[in-house]
Structure 1
Amino acid sequence: MTRITGTYAVSTTLGEPVRAFIPHALPPTEPVLADAVWRTHNDAAVMALQRLSAVAGLVPSVDWLLYSAIRQEALMTSQIEGTQATLVDLFDDEAGLAISNTDDVEEVTNYLQAFQWVQAQLRSPQGLPISVRLLSEAHRRLLDGARGSGKQPGELRRSQNWIGGTRPGNAVFVPPPADQVPALLTDLERFIHAEQTDLPALVRVALVHAQFETIHPYLDGNGRIGRLLIASLLEHWQLLPEPLMYLSGYLKQHQSEYYRRLSAIRTDGDWEGWVQFFLEAVQNAAAQSERAVVALASLVANDRRRLLAHPKANAVSYRLFELLPTMPRLSVDRVCEAVQTTFPTANTAIKLLEELGILTELTGQKKNRTFSYAGYIQLLSQ
């Protein structure tokens, strides 16, 4: 039998009557989710997450792994929505260097700030739990700035939206009418905090993400907030203690299937196909992140070894080197500030790292020079 996953209501938008989809509350019923579909995939995905955590635990500093992983996720989740910024743009912006596509970079840095704010809330005894209020505050931060100001940042939508198509009448998908959104989100919150054990945590993450995207509660930014919700739930349900996986990289690579699987829940009642796709995405993304951790750790360890073996290596050059994974683009002024030293001392430390091929000078100038930890950026950009 085909599962019915929602009902339709006729809603008038821009003078056109449209059929808006109202999803049934989670979990899927009639029939319930077939466990044969998810059982094997769930175990493999959970094991991949555990391996990623274990490998990250062997690295001397988890901070620089988190620095790169969170930025990769911010970049990829924004690129899914059409943002053109690159990793180098992001690093240049953080280094105070000139960038051309400031609006695109602002969208990525807004996501970073929203993500870090949510993480701080979830880790603080006084912080907000996973809730509509938490997501709306994250949404306010996400849309802070020029492009988002007219999209009701931090507020649930008060009008009908639609996805795809040039107008409501030829839309690919019409989410629930605005007056239904608060009750649907209350149901979703209830499912997240229910004391239910018959579905594994990772399967519940898959269900929550799809339901959130179906409700589409904001005028803009639903995809990014929905993917931020995935990362939050992975930590909340203790599936990944630190946000080391950039799932959006896999979702961007398989973007058409990602959208097709979400759509098939509404059109064909195919929750199983979506859950299987999501679990495979987690397994692949965790394995990719694990490979990245090993490659980055090897690069940094090898470069550190070469620096320590150099006769001119000193405390300042060593301190600078340890900062590079969280400061991969830099100027001499930035090094002075970070290492708290004089311009000549900073310059000498940079020169040594340049001699070793660890840093590369980018401008070819005598003054106002900028440098890059090129091997590290190259690995991250693969």
Structure 2
Amino acid sequence: MITTTTLGESVQAFVPHPLPPDTPPLQPDAYGAANRAAELALARLNGVAGLVPSEDWLLYGAVRKEALLTSQIEGTQATLDDLFDNEAGLEVSNADDVEEVTNYLRAFRFVHDNLRSESGLPVSLRLICDAHRLLLDGVRGAGKQPGELRRSQNWIGGTRPGNAVFVPPPPERVAALLTDLERFIHAENSDLPPLVKVALVHAQFETIHPFLDGNGRMGRLLISTLMEHWQLMQAPLLYISGYLKQHQVEYYRRLSGTRTEGDWESWIAFFLDGVAVAAAQAEHTIVDLATLIANDRRRLLESPKAGAIAYRLFESLPMMPRFTVEQVKQRLTTTYPTANAAVKALSDLGIVTEMTGQRKNRSFGYQAYIALLSR
């Protein structure tokens, strides 16, 4: 702790030691079993994902689910239906919330595109700041220095720094702390398991709280970033924010324990349990989605009324679960009557459902697919 002055009052700000914790050092016996269980769950998830014909539609759903859940932790009320409606060009009632989720998707894609490109940025302060700029672009927090490290003191909980639950490091310490964090990420001599390092980095980032807004979402984006960086996942199919949202009070309590009690082991064990649960849930969802799509595909192939355009439309559904006939026409580069006939073929089979009940301006949904994703 160090004493700093902000808004005219002296407060105790917390400045974390560089990673890994060494006073006292970590006790691997406290989380070793949980780490093995989490690694096994990730291996199973990677294996199941490899059996699916298209990784693209898996990613489409998983990334949107993570975007939605991580935003809901911060109070956003948007749903998957809202997000799919917005992508279909349909009107949504909570457009501001949907835009925040969409911004997270942009930041997510930016980070993972960089990691996969030979000329892209590595995991670094610059990458994080560039992603943060996309996250806050044009939404709540847009006036809070998007893409820039904070230049003023922030705090968590309470109405002012003096009665805050937690006061992060002073702004002049932030850059050096993040440099230490970046050095830990790229250190080659660490004998810590990769998942344990992910847990450490997330907690350290949240403790530093380097931005005026968006720290929680950026810290959770860092989890999926490091999963890919350390080759724990072949693709970002894990939506751990669902577990963190379900156990939100415990999530914050365990993070706080690393600062107030130096209890890193309890946080690591909690995080590893979350990875194992989230991986198992993602595995089950993939199996159920693949089963649904296979069964619906078989029904479509057995239908004498379905033509080639209907087959092509069906294969597009996992990445276009809400749509209009006009969108089908454009996506499949066909005529409106042909697109309409394809939609009717799927509708007659009960694969897609008309959502408006109107004769004009109709929209359709692959509702069984959306329901599985929304579980």
TM-score, reference length from structure 1: 0.97
Q: Partners of 2:102 and 2:178 in 1: how far apart? A: 27
2:180 equivalent in structure 1: 187
Q: Is the counterpart of residue 227 in structure 1 residue 190 in structure 2?
A: no
Match of residue 328, structure 2, among 328, 335, 343: 335
- Residue type at the aligned position of 1:108: V
2:313 equivalent in structure 1: 320
1:251 equivalent in structure 2: 244
- Residue type at the aligned position of 1:118: V
2:374 equivalent in structure 1: 381
Q: Partners of 2:141 and 2:251 in 1: how far apart? A: 25
Q: Quote how far apart the aligned CAs of 1:164 are.
A: 0.7
Q: Partners of 2:24 and 2:357 in 1: how far apart? A: 66
1:164 equivalent in structure 2: 157
1:3 equivalent in structure 2: none
Match of residue 298, structure 1, among 291, 310, 314: 291
2:143 equivalent in structure 1: 150
Match of residue 61, structure 1, among 54, 65, 72: 54
2:271 equivalent in structure 1: 278
1:54-78 CA-to-partner distances (Å, cap 9, x unmatched) read 1011111111010000000000000
- Residue type at the aligned position of 1:142: L
Q: Is the counterpart of residue 102 in structure 1 residue 109 in structure 2?
A: no
Q: Quote how far apart the aligned CAs of 1:38 are.
A: 1.8
Q: Quote how far apart the aligned CAs of 1:32 are.
A: 1.0
TM-score, reference length from structure 2: 0.99
Q: Partners of 1:146 and 1:110 in 2: how far apart? A: 8
Q: Partners of 2:138 and 2:161 in 1: how far apart? A: 27
1:4 equivalent in structure 2: none
- Residue type at the aligned position of 1:59: V
Q: Quote how far apart the aligned CAs of 1:174 are.
A: 0.3
Q: Quote how far apart the aligned CAs of 1:146 are.
A: 3.5
1:143-175 CA-to-partner distances (Å, cap 9, x unmatched) read 000422211000000000000111111111000
Q: Partners of 2:142 and 2:355 in 1: how far apart? A: 36
1:5 equivalent in structure 2: none
Q: Partners of 1:146 and 1:49 in 2: how far apart? A: 34
Stretches of 4+ aligned residues off by more than 4 angstroms: none
Q: Quote how far apart the aligned CAs of 1:16 are.
A: 1.6
What are the equivalent positions in structure 2 for 1:42-57 lying under 5 Å apart? Answer: 42-57=35-50
* SS of alignment partner, residue 27 of structure 1: coil
Q: Quote how far apart the aligned CAs of 1:362 are.
A: 1.0
Q: Is the counterpart of residue 207 in structure 1 residue 200 in structure 2?
A: yes
Q: Quote how far apart the aligned CAs of 1:200 are.
A: 0.6
1:320-343 CA-to-partner distances (Å, cap 9, x unmatched) read 000001000010101001111111
- Residue type at the aligned position of 2:295: N
Q: Quote how far apart the aligned CAs of 1:40 are.
A: 1.0
Q: Partners of 1:11 and 1:371 in 2: how far apart? A: 57
2:261 equivalent in structure 1: 268
2:129 equivalent in structure 1: 136
Contact 2:100 2:139 in 1 (8 A): no
Q: Share of identical aligned residues, percent?
A: 69
Match of residue 237, structure 1, among 227, 230, 247: 230
CA RMSD, 1 decimal: 0.7
Unaligned residue ranges in structure 1 (runs of 5+):
1-7
- Residue type at the aligned position of 1:42: N
